[in-house]
Amino acid sequence: MSDQPSADAQARIAELRQQIDDVDARIVELLNERARFSLEIRGLKPQAHLGLYDPKREEEIFARLAEQNRGPLYDENLREIYEAILHVMKEMRG
């Protein structure tokens, strides 16, 4: 006897994974776009007489993320992800 509910659930999971892969492709593109802007800013900072690290700007970013967040992720989830993003942007080789 075939296990139809199980087969249906597996098919739906495969479909959802495909949608996640599509989302990930767009996130990768946006992260690279962000990295390009970030590298340009880094190059301009000495000329603008600004320090390379700006904790105020980081707090602004976290506040804006929370403001834009409609869930289901919690603000602290976004903060965890963005700590990794900002860490990478800071350590990036130009």
Phi, psi dihedral angles at 46 (to 5 degrees): -60, -45
Query: Residue 58 interacts with a second copy (CB under 8 A)?
Result: no
Query: Residue 63 interacts with a second copy (CB under 8 A)?
Result: no
* Residues 65/82, Cβ–Cβ less than 8 Å: yes
Quote the CA–CA distance of 12 and 1 in Å, as a whole number. 21
Near a second copy in 5-44, by CB under 8 A: 5-6, 9-10, 12-13, 16-17, 19-21, 23-41, 44
> Can the peptide bond before residue 72 be classed as cis, meaning omega within 30 degrees of 0?
yes
List interacting residues with a second copy (CB under 8 A): 3, 5-6, 9-10, 12-13, 16-17, 19-21, 23-41, 44-45, 47-50, 57, 61, 64-65, 68-74, 77-78, 80-81, 83-85, 87-88, 91-93
